[in-house]
Amino acid sequence: MSCCGETIKNFSDQEIKYLKLLSTKYPNINSACTEIINLQAILNLPKGTEHFVSDIHGEYESFSHVLRNASGVIKNQISFIFGKEMKDDEKKAFATLIYYPERKLELVKKTETDMASFYRINLERLIKLCKVISAKYTRSKVRKALPKEFAYIIEELLHEDGKGEEKQMYYKEIIESIIELNQADRFITAISYLIQRLAIDHLHILGDIYDRGPNAAKIVDTLMDYHNLDIQWGNHDIAWMGAAAGCDALICNVVRIQSRYANLDTVEDHYGINLIPLLMFAIDKYGDDPCKAFMPKLSPEDIVSEKEASVIAKMHKAISIMQFKAEGILIKRNPEYEMDERLLLHQLDLENGTVTVEGVKYELNDTNFPTIDPNNPYEFTKEEAEVMEKLRSSFLNSVKIQRHARFLFAKGSIYTVFNNNLLFHGCIPFDENGNFKEVTFNGKKCSGKEYFDLVERAAREGYFTKDDAEKKLKCLDSLWYLWCGPNSPLFGKKKMTTFERYFIDDKASHKEEKNTYYKLRDDEKTCRMILEEFGIDPDEGHIVNGHVPVKASSGETPIKANGKLFVIDGGFARAYQKVTGIAGYTLIYNSHGLVLVSHEPFSSREIAIKEEKDILSSTVALQYSEERIRVGNTDIGVKLRDEMKYLKDLLYAYRTGLLKEVN
């Protein structure tokens, strides 16, 4: 196809309509040519850096630090740019200034005797670092990222070429003026956050933002302000999204988990959920019950009195029994879920202190079930029904939880295909023969990508359906199934043994068998089959997973199938770190290739600032490209080429008189 019109083109009516619409933005040959030249130049820029993070589980401080240091990208750039020019302790101090500019400046002022020199040195270094980090972007993109109050000044400094004595004097005067006008603190803060923003072009969150840690709501607030991201839902995320949609079983579930980890502040303070009805009910029904199995799991940092822990335990038990009832009702109305073995309340034999699970009789460690009617064990008591109604109303009317849920639906999905990589949280259900498992979901049999697409649609309908009550209920049940169903791609196990872990000491009953996927994902042939199913070139593509913590301390590797699959759940959550031995993996995909990074546990933000202790991160694996990866090799490149194609068609239309130019 020639933009000069050598080849005769016949446009359809629809194409002509589009070209007329495009001509309003590019009204003449010159403007269209300028944009084509611009797009061609962008195609040859190095691709932006992608950052992959998974299974954050409410650990805000650790997550925030990993965002601020871009999994070591900024620290590596400091070492690359300044080399021997700076000592190691100077590099640490400089990195800390970039990560936490406000707090670091406060501390510096307490000991530094010559702040003017400090400002001068660090302003020059920050500008030099920002120049390098911004070099892979167009001026237009950098300009959009600039903080408004200093946009003009930063743009001038970033494009200083250092040539000519007068030019150098001009830029030095800018820096001196910033210092003399007492604007250095604000300028350092602004350019530090600009560096953080430019260090990462696109963020991928591979699920499980919620539960275990105390600050999931703060993490979502942070993500809502992030410049460019996508989210692949985890089962803990879908549980909160389902609770926000009004699913009783998931409302009980999220309150139960927050009780389990003494994180009720997330429910009460962060989301404004009224737990007083549950508290009063729990004290009334379980006031004399020690609720030993329901005592909250506390980390060393938690400050919870014995009395408070006892009250939380009673609430924990009360909401757990309500959850088992709500789940029983849901399972009974959805026989296609094939989860009747999870109906355990009618299997209780309180006289003999036993429960029968899948034909095996186990001894109970607790026989106090004051709200269970043996003749109708899944029915809520009048008091439970009142508590449930008030909780549901509180969730549905929480402005913040609804805003967060809508954000997760807007930015999230079951899976994402991005730059030849397939991202999903959990698994793809497989049968024992190594084939995609055929699953009956909402009355339809499907497997592989088709199943993923059907599941995602049901999840969205579960939240957004308002007028059709029957459809709404069916889709709300689907959200619960995604939390713990045996063929849920977000869960990936045969069953979730919550009841057994509370009431049965015999650990044989606690076992949760994983889907066959977790055996097959070590096999390159399987991974190539998955990539092809989702339309990805298996020679070039990768799968990135979260969900199941990598037991690094036991020698497990996060790299599977000869480098075709990366597992990046290494234990952000403190609850997992005894098992994993580390505090998580993150993945970086820059213009040189893929870099897998492991992280040691994060002490605290204050220690990071005062002692200049960054998270100790180690490169686990590299997959470097022989040639630098350009924008033209990415999904954005495909879109830009499409734009260029239409612009060239527009040029043809102008040059052949099909459309008139406007000058």
Q: List pLDDT tens digits, range 470-524.
A: 999 999 999 999 999 999 999 999 999 999 999 999 999 999 999 999 999 999 9
Inside any domain, residue 521:
no
Task: Assess contact for 408 and 233: CB atoms under 8 A.
Answer: yes
Higher pLDDT, 346 or 443: 346
Residue 2, pLDDT > 60, answer: no
Which of 467, 490, 513 is a domain's end point?
513
Residue 187, pLDDT > 90, answer: yes
From 223, 202, 232, 234, select the one nearest 534 (Cα to Cα): 232
Task: Assess contact for 287 and 279: CB atoms under 8 A.
Answer: no
Could you list the residue range(s) of the whole structural domain that residue 153 is in?
A: 50-206+546-629
Q: List pLDDT tens digits, range 358-385.
A: 999 999 999 999 999 999 999 999 999 9
* pLDDT band (50, 70, 90) for residue 573: low
Phi, psi of 195 (to 5 degrees): -60, -45
Inside any domain, residue 40:
no
**Could you identify the residue written with the tokens 């439970």?**
384
Count of positions (residues) in the chain: 663
Inside any domain, residue 414:
no
* pLDDT band (50, 70, 90) for residue 1: very low
Inside any domain, residue 135:
yes
> Do residues 351 and 452 both lie within one domain?
yes
Residue 356 is classified by DSSP as E
Task: Assess contact for 566 and 530: CB atoms under 8 A.
Answer: no
* Cα distance between residue 564 and residue 541, in whole Å: 7
Using a cut of 0.85, tell me whether the model's pTM lies above it.
yes
Q: List pLDDT tens digits, range 343-354.
A: 999 999 999 999
Phi, psi of 629 (to 5 degrees): -80, 130
β partners of residue 354? 349, 363
> Do residues 99 and 162 both lie within one domain?
yes
> Do residues 481 and 584 both lie within one domain?
no
HEC readout, 575-610: HHHHHHCCCCEEEEEECCEEEEEEECCCCCHHHHHH
* pLDDT band (50, 70, 90) for residue 612: confident
Q: Determine the pLDDT at residue 403.
A: 98
Inside any domain, residue 109:
yes
Instruction: Tally the domains of the chain.
Output: 2
> Do residues 183 and 251 both lie within one domain?
no
> Do residues 303 and 164 both lie within one domain?
no
Residue 528 is classified by DSSP as H
CA 73, 74, 80, 86 dihedral sign is negative
Inside any domain, residue 531:
no
Which of 513, 537, 555 is a domain's end point?
513
From 115, 405, 477, select the one nearest 244 (Cα to Cα): 405
Q: List pLDDT tens digits, range 636-651.
A: 999 999 999 999 999 9
From 261, 282, 263, select the one nearest 273 (Cα to Cα): 263
> Do residues 324 and 444 both lie within one domain?
yes
Residue 237, pLDDT > 50, answer: yes
Q: List pLDDT tens digits, range 97-151.
A: 999 999 999 999 999 999 999 999 999 999 999 999 999 998 889 999 999 999 9
Higher pLDDT, 616 or 391: 391
* Amino acid (one-letter) located at 639: K
* Cα distance between residue 273 and residue 264, in whole Å: 10
CA 432, 438, 439, 440 dihedral sign is negative
Neighbour count for residue 460 (Cβ, 10 Å)? 16
Q: Determine the pLDDT at residue 439.
A: 94
Alpha helices (runs of H) in 83-183, residue ranges in sequence order: 88-99, 101-111, 115-134, 139-145, 151-158, 165-180
Inside any domain, residue 471:
yes
From 299, 284, 347, 355, select the one nearest 502 (Cα to Cα): 355
> Do residues 476 and 622 both lie within one domain?
no
Residue 268, pLDDT > 60, answer: yes
> Do residues 508 and 567 both lie within one domain?
no
Inside any domain, residue 582:
yes
> Do residues 553 and 496 both lie within one domain?
no
> Do residues 361 and 485 both lie within one domain?
yes
> Do residues 199 and 252 both lie within one domain?
no
* pLDDT band (50, 70, 90) for residue 5: very low
β partners of residue 144? none
Residues ≥6 apart with Cβ < 8 Å to 76: none
Task: Assess contact for 599 and 66: CB atoms under 8 A.
Answer: yes
> Do residues 278 and 130 both lie within one domain?
no
- When pLDDT is averaged across residues 577-601 and rounded to a whole number, the result is 78
Higher pLDDT, 217 or 72: 217
* pLDDT band (50, 70, 90) for residue 571: low
